[in-house]
Amino acid sequence: IGIAFLASALALLLAAQVRGPGRASLMLAPALFLGGHALLHLAGLSDADLSTTMRDLGAIVVPGLMPGAIALAARRQGAHR
């Protein structure tokens, strides 16, 4: 799993160098992996205590969903050009 996180980080770094409509496509795979991991943690928070919930939301869920949100915004921006 650690290698998947490193590969996702590398893919996001490479996507950050791209300008134009191709950026959203490059972000798709890492966004799916990180977003899926975030949703898995979110589902596990149903029986967690407050400190675990706050830690996971701040350290895993929000950062994990950000690449997907950025990719969607980049795709929408590219569609409007």
Domain ranges (residues) in the chain: 2-79
Q: What is the DSSP letter of 19?
A: -
Read off the pLDDT of residues 16-36 as tens digits, 9 standing for 90 and up.
Answer: 898 877 888 888 999 999 999
Tokens of 36: 């899926």
pLDDT band per the 50, 70, 90 thresholds, residue 81: low
Per residue in 32-63, pLDDT (tens digit) is 999 999 999 999 999 999 999 999 999 999 99
Return d(Cα 57, Cα 7) in angstroms, integer.
Answer: 22
Report the distance separating Cα 45 and Cα 61, nearest Å: 10
Q: For residue 21, give every residue at least 6 positions away whose Cβ sits within 8 Å of its Cβ, in sequence order, or none.
A: 75, 78, 81
pTM: 0.84
Amino acid at 74: A
